[in-house]
Amino acid sequence: MISKSKSPRFTGTIYRIWMMRHVDVPDEIARALAKQMGGARLPGTGRKQTKPKYIPVVAIVGAKSARTTLVPARGGRFRMQINTAQRKAAGADTGDAVSVELRLDLSSRDVPVPADLRKALAKHPKARKAFEEMPPGHRRQFTMWFDSAKSAAARSRRVDRAIDHLLERALLRPRR
């Protein structure tokens, strides 16, 4: 059993699925983290999850930490993705064993919506609805893409592109 005060550690072998590198998380560690989560509210959704399907964690590999999520793998197991910075810090790649430390991460993963995008969304209700219906991770990446433009001209072009993209999503969304 894993105590709440200690972060679980394990050694796992890196494997590759397409371009991404993953490590299987031992069952007892995934169960202990899920139990710690209990009826906690999921970041970004505000919903309670009694039996977590996804477990948000901070993973430390090779002295590099990254926010990630334990995701279901077949047979009730969980796996986690290892990013490039972590792999390089550990000096490891596919087939190598790495030491992993996990910490439950229940803090919000929402990125604040920049004022200029928020203002544009207020003018376009259909685009705003499409933005709000995006999955949390997609919404976060979209916001980070938008916010990466620094000059006023670039941000103005991105506002137009963002609204066009969101309106297209709204039009192409399957009807329920």
The answer to the question of residue 3 being in a domain is no
CATH number at residue 75: 2.40.30.100
The predicted pLDDT at position 82 comes to 95
The predicted pLDDT at position 83 comes to 94
The answer to the question of residue 141 being in a domain is yes
The answer to the question of residue 2 being in a domain is no
Domain residues for 94?
A: 9-104
Q: Clarify whether residues 22 and 87 are in a common domain.
A: yes
The domain boundary residue, chosen from 65, 81, 104: 104
Burial class from Cβ neighbours inside 10 Å (0-12, 13-18, 19+) for residue 94 reads exposed
Q: Clarify whether residues 78 and 128 are in a common domain.
A: no
The predicted pLDDT at position 37 comes to 83
Give me the residues of the chain with pLDDT under 70, please: 1-5, 39-51, 175-176
**Domains of the chain: total:** 2
Q: Residue 171 corresponds to which tokens in the numbers above?
A: 């039009």
Cα 53 from Cα 36, distance rounded (Å) = 14
pLDDT digits (tens, 9 = 90+) for 97-145: 999 999 999 888 888 999 999 999 999 999 999 999 998 888 999 999 9
The predicted pLDDT at position 1 comes to 40
The predicted pLDDT at position 135 comes to 85
For residue 41, list its beta bridge partners: 48
Q: CB within 8 A of 69, min separation 6: which ones? A: 54, 55, 56, 57, 80
Q: Residue 118 corresponds to which tokens in the numbers above?
A: 């928020």
Angle at Cα 160 formed by Cα 157 and Cα 166, nearest 5°? 135
Using DSSP bridges, classify how beta strands 97-104 and 55-61 pair: parallel, antiparallel or unpaired: antiparallel
The predicted pLDDT at position 49 comes to 54
User: 3-state class of 140 per DSSP?
Assistant: helix
The predicted pLDDT at position 38 comes to 75
The secondary element (H helix, E strand) that includes residue 66 is strand 64-73
The answer to the question of residue 55 being in a domain is yes
Q: Clarify whether residues 13 and 100 are in a common domain.
A: yes
The answer to the question of residue 21 being in a domain is yes
pTM of the model: 0.68
For residue 12, list its beta bridge partners: 98
The predicted pLDDT at position 3 comes to 45
Q: Residue 31 corresponds to which tokens in the numbers above?
A: 């169960």
The answer to the question of residue 75 being in a domain is yes
